[in-house]
Structure 1
């Protein structure tokens, strides 16, 4: 993506135009169908804030269906979570063999790695938040029980979260300006809290013991900024051997050091690009995230993101100050990495 903030608005009065609008130049994120035919009108408002995107969709039609298939998954560059929040109308979201009926204020979390079906009967409005799975400091396996489940507007923490999400969806100004990325990141954090709250309340008869990988990744998330964090200290704090620790990460296709590095880099990148921290030296922010060696930090940052920390800060500042709303004619020139519904 070439910019930190991008905003797209558009509307369509037929299904073919709607597909062009929501897809851009990318292979489609899902197949869109209108089985009942008849009149159709859809509006899209998409805001892209670095690697987080927010989508407000309003559709007026008799029936609307989205299908995500293995073919769509093959063309997705990185694993994503998508929060599907129902604002108006009703729908049924199905993933991983479970179906979630959604009423206004309810939401379902989905993984881009698993096919889904999302069916709407009648007019509807939804808000979707999409972000990389690495933004959550928990293994993807821990969220598998959530797929295809409805988190109700009155369920636990969600009773407090749903009104806030609805207000953000209806007020796009909250995602603009210097605080926009903070609001987007706060939404990710709040949804994560709601996921964990839901899993805890619905754990039921699942095994009381927490798997090693889930336990140690939760520990890493709590101690991520500590410079001495490493395999030895993590193993000792969790009363396991380093061999057991390393094996747990190998089973998930990664290593302890890679897991820590990816999340530290994501954290420091957010802070370097945050306009409210523009007066803080890059070296200071890097050290806070466990990168005391500036040469090493610059090297791994460039390897991960394709530009230096200084270049990223300059681009973030430039794009933030130049952020403006795009019209539909600009949409036709959208870059491939930003063209998903």
Structure 2
């Protein structure tokens, strides 16, 4: 991941540097802001191969990419943006959509477009933050003329595939150190399939997506369901299959070749949660057995065996190690 912060530059140089950074990492555009005299901003950009993710933090501004800025040699990219804070509007093809944390917006970088983003609340100069994804036209298995219907339109980020996409991207950019170099192509593929699923779902053409793309989307939905229900003692592969209207056999086939199973996801998720809770000083009043029960383990002996198998020591020893720092 590449990280940049204008705070290291003299105030007079910050805004020009930011404009150049946007041009190099995204597209050439005219940027206007009331805070150019001291433009304190930062960016984190992660190249996954096909996709480029970015988290941009900056003062309120207006961005305009006019027709004269677009060259036939420019890369053909779709730009997805999800404000993490702030509110505004995005425009393209005589359409205007709100920019806010509830939805992704999509624009085509080789067509004129613009956006404005301002801070929430009573402090006009407060920084805003946006998560962005650049996607090559050729990478999306959705017809371009259909995708054009979504330019400057909202893709809900709190429900359905959009919510899964938002959560997945935010985890990657928040903790890139958790992933090895070998994981990058896999992350790229999953993110691309989730983007395709979110856009196709908005257009009601999900059935037209390639089978592999639909399988990835279903697999991510299952994993998200498991994470949400880890504390339920009744969570099991059969319960997961029923919640997704699948046979148990179909559910197991869904994870073939991934190196894990639904049972493995449940067990690993519960153990990771238990390890965090055992290390949390605020939960010291709870016994080890109570921590296990909170995480979905109904039998203390089973919890202890599973924890020792995963970590090499007992839950009590883990709590003592955490207390010693």
Tell me the TM-score range normalised by the shorter chain.
0.5 to 0.7
1:165 aligns with 2:174: no
SS class of match (1:113): coil
Q: 1:36 to 1:171 in 2, by over 3 A?
A: same
CA distance in 1, matches of 2:212, 2:131: 33
CA distance in 2, matches of 1:20, 1:223: 38
> Which among 2, 11, 16 is matched to residue 5 of structure 2?
11
> Which among 86, 90, 93 is matched to residue 89 of structure 1?
86
Structure 1 segment 306-321 matched on structure 2, within 5 A: none
Q: Which residue number corresponds to residue 20 of structure 2? A: 20
Q: 1:177 to 1:107 in 2, by over 3 A?
A: same
1:151 aligns with 2:151: no
Q: Which residue number corresponds to residue 327 of structure 1? A: none
Task: Please state how far the C-alpha of 1:160 moved relative to its aligned partner.
Answer: 3.2
CA distance in 2, matches of 1:95, 1:168: 29
1:128 aligns with 2:132: yes
Q: 1:70 to 1:31 in 2, by over 3 A?
A: same
Task: Please state how far the C-alpha of 1:46 moved relative to its aligned partner.
Answer: 1.4
Q: 1:167 to 1:36 in 2, by over 3 A?
A: same
Task: Please state how far the C-alpha of 1:144 moved relative to its aligned partner.
Answer: 1.0
Q: Which residue number corresponds to residue 79 of structure 1? A: 76
Contact 1:52 1:129 in 2 (8 A): yes
Contact 1:85 1:127 in 2 (8 A): yes
SS class of match (1:77): coil
Contact 1:93 1:116 in 2 (8 A): yes
1:184 aligns with 2:178: no
Q: 1:9 to 1:154 in 2, by over 3 A?
A: closer
CA distance in 2, matches of 1:55, 1:27: 9
More contact order relative to length (CA 8 Å, sep ≥ 6): 1
SS class of match (2:130): strand
Q: Which residue number corresponds to residue 240 of structure 1? A: none
Contact 1:11 1:18 in 2 (8 A): no
Q: 1:96 to 1:175 in 2, by over 3 A?
A: farther
SS class of match (1:157): helix
CA distance in 1, matches of 2:26, 2:198: 32
* More helix as a share of residues: 2
| Cα-to-partner distance string for 1:167-217 (whole Å, 9 max, x where unaligned) | 2232223565111122122112101101111122xxxxxxxxx9xxx99xx
Q: Which residue number corresponds to residue 64 of structure 2? A: 67
SS class of match (2:105): strand
Task: Please state how far the C-alpha of 1:140 moved relative to its aligned partner.
Answer: 0.6
Contact 1:28 1:72 in 2 (8 A): no
Q: TM-score, normalised by structure 1?
A: 0.52
Flag the structure with larger Rg: 2
Structure 1 segment 223-238 matched on structure 2, within 5 A: none
Task: Please state how far the C-alpha of 1:79 moved relative to its aligned partner.
Answer: 1.5
Q: Which runs of 5+ in 2 are unaligned?
A: 120-126, 214-257, 259-325
Q: Number of paired residues?
A: 201
Q: 1:15 to 1:138 in 2, by over 3 A?
A: same
Q: Which residue number corresponds to residue 196 of structure 1? A: 200
Task: Please state how far the C-alpha of 1:49 moved relative to its aligned partner.
Answer: 2.9
Q: 1:115 to 1:37 in 2, by over 3 A?
A: same
1:34 aligns with 2:33: yes
Quote the RMSD (CA, aligned, Å): 3.0
Q: TM-score, normalised by structure 2?
A: 0.55
Structure 1 segment 255-294 matched on structure 2, within 5 A: none
Contact 1:95 1:115 in 2 (8 A): yes
CA distance in 2, matches of 1:27, 1:124: 18
